[in-house]
Amino acid sequence: MRKFMPKRQNDQEQVLIKQLRTNRPLLVYARRSDPLAKDQRRDRTQSREMQTQDMIVWGQESGWSPKLIHPYFADLGLSGTLRPDQRPDMLRLFEDLDSGKFDGSTIACWQESRPFRDETHIYYNQLIDKMLQHDIVLVVLSPRLYIYDMRDPFDKERLREKFKEAADFIPKHVKGWLLPARERAAWEYGEWAGIGDLQIGYIVDLDEDSPTFKKRIPYAAHVDIVRREIFEAFAEVGGEIGLLNRRIALSPVIFPFFEPHIDRRIVNKFNKWSTCSNGYILQHGNTIRSILTNPVYIGYQSVNGVIRRDRQGNMITSHEAIVDPELFFFAYYRLSKYDLDGTLLEGREVKRYFYRGDQATYGLCKYRIRWSNGPVRTEAHGEYDGDTPVDRPIYILAPETFKLGSKNYMCLPCEEVDAEIVNRLMYHVQELSKEQKETSEYEKQAQVIREGRKKKIKQIEQSLVDIEVKQTKLANALSTVKDDNNPSVDSKQASTQLQDDSNVDPKQVSTRLQELIIEQMRNLERERLLLMKDKQRLEEEAENDIGSLEEELQDLVQDYETFSGRDKCGSYAHP
């Protein structure tokens, strides 16, 4: 039976009215890839402040009360290519959305690229599904404020495209454009271009009007020290690197701090150097060897391990040399096994190291104790019992310049020292087990670890399911593309997009489509294997999970004596 409506339905009534939901919680998410962002005291960049402080201020000014604003800032310093289970606050966000306590709420971030740069296209689709299921809207502020409502098909597809753009940024823009452009500038024009470290003795000319713009130029205050205290000193000791190291250990080489007018971008390149009140200290043997064998000091620049050359294969001088070539090659051919062309020098053999089945974890206190003249090292002292050598580990009391193999040192048997330490440790363990002081905090932290592990496993399992679904769809698409007699609508549309010219052979388009699908399937399979590996690791951790503090202390007291001395050292001494 027909049923008539009292009036015509207005299409405008079905249009979603998008507005800020200031009466529901606001979840502010921030992420920045630079590892420096993990330290709030050191990371004082505009990007951090815009994503954290400015976002909270915007939320309050837009009508949210402070109680409704929930920050998710723990992912600062982590890459957007990481999975949700590898980012604490993205995992927490997923868990909070699944719990339902934030249904109808708002996620806010500075740009669409902040949540993900997901090249697998799995994890941002998980976020979209959760937003649709729990009626969550996403608000981005840059370049202009936009509200993504997943109930609107246009918004959902637009957000999906934005996430795809963010995922393609690294392979297409960074790896496909920025890095090749930087390498070309270094190779073609001899610019420093930020590839590798900036060597001591040089700075970069940042004067745009200078003919040496973006190239290395000598820094006078350091040049004389490099030449006199390193290269000439190496020649004075007859090319013996051990003697030079000992000489520098007794009389440290100090490079004065940069003058105030030197650009901070250059000064920051030397932040990893050890310093004293007078300047930068040269103290590591590997650094000394690296300086003595670096052709940058005779004007050559290497790009990805290859010295710049012209089209005829001749080496090109990229900047001013600060060391005489004869002095440099005196050091280079005594320390390097290869010439500047990468050819193995005659009579030089590359040492090959093999695993000997011994982790050499001697001593519970290895790397943990010092004495008045320097660090305490350990070594296996071999004594023969008949034809069988017996390792008797010892603590070596030697100064900083001690060389393993030397006989001029004091030593203590590891077993005797460790036994005394273990006895005292067991005494305190027993006392703690009896008194049960401050165990509530221990139990609380252990429970947090267990819950976090469960959340990661749950997220990984969901990702594995989504990858399997995606792989099935790709397999079906691949079989459809191969079927030339009955192509599907999707394959026709894809073929049309790939054809720039209507005269392109359809078979070529079909072959290209197959290659793209197979490549995506390979990426998903690699991701699946990584997920399986991490899931296995987490399950093993759960299986070997710690019990209560009381149980662990009792097991430690009861079972410790059953271990051999070497097992004790190997179990507790981590190099």
Q: What is the pLDDT of residues 419-453, one digit of tens each?
A: 888 888 777 767 766 665 556 776 788 888 889 99
pLDDT-based confidence at 553, cuts 50/70/90?
low
> Of 106, 99, 118, whose CA–CA distance to 29 is shortest?
106
Which pair of tokens denotes residue 493?
């549309």
Q: How far apart are the first and last CA of the chain?
A: 84
pLDDT-above-90 percentage for the chain: 48
Q: Residues 289-344: pLDDT tens digits?
A: 999 999 999 999 999 889 999 989 999 999 999 999 999 999 999 999 899 988 88
* Cβ–Cβ under 8 Å, residues 316 and 190: yes
Give pLDDT, residue 355.
44
Using only the alpha carbons of the chain, give its radius of gyration. 32
pLDDT of 483: 72
Q: Where does the pLDDT of residue 390 fall: very low under 50, low under 70, confident under 90, or very high at 90 and above?
A: low
**pLDDT at position 407:** 56
Highest mean pLDDT among 6-10, 105-109, 497-501, 547-551: 105-109
The Cα angle at residue 95 between residues 89 and 98, in degrees rounded to 5: 145
pLDDT score of 5 more than 80: no
Q: Which residue stretches of 278-405 are H helix?
A: 285-292, 325-335
| Cβ contact 241:234 at 8 Å | yes
Q: Does residue 559 carry a pLDDT above 50?
A: yes
In the DSSP assignment, the letter for residue 110 is S
Using CB atoms within 10 Å of the CB of residue 398, give its burial: 0 to 12 exposed, 13 to 18 middle, 19+ buried. buried
In angstroms, rounded to a whole number, what is the distance separating the alpha carbons of residues 556 and 544? 15
**Residue 568: predicted pLDDT:** 46
The confidence band for 551, taking pLDDT boundaries of 50, 70 and 90, is low
Q: In this structure, are residues 110 and 50 in contact, taking their beta carbons and an 8 Å threshold?
A: yes
> What percentage of the chain exceeds 70 in pLDDT?
79
pLDDT at 555 over 80: no
Say how many residues make up the chain. 575
- Does the pLDDT of residue 488 top 70, yes or no? no
pLDDT, one tens digit per residue, over 81-100 is 999 999 999 999 999 999 99
The pLDDT value given to residue 562: 56
pTM equals: 0.66
pLDDT digits over 133-182, tens only?
999 999 999 889 999 999 999 999 999 999 999 999 988 888 888 889 99
Q: Where are the beta strands (DSSP E) in 171-236?
A: 202-204, 216-218
Peptide bond into 66 cis (omega under 30): no
Q: Coil, strand, or helix at residue 78?
A: coil
Higher-confidence position of 290 and 417? 290
Average pLDDT over residues 359-388: 65
- Tell me how far apart the alpha carbons of residues 377 and 397 are, in angstroms, rounded to a whole number: 7
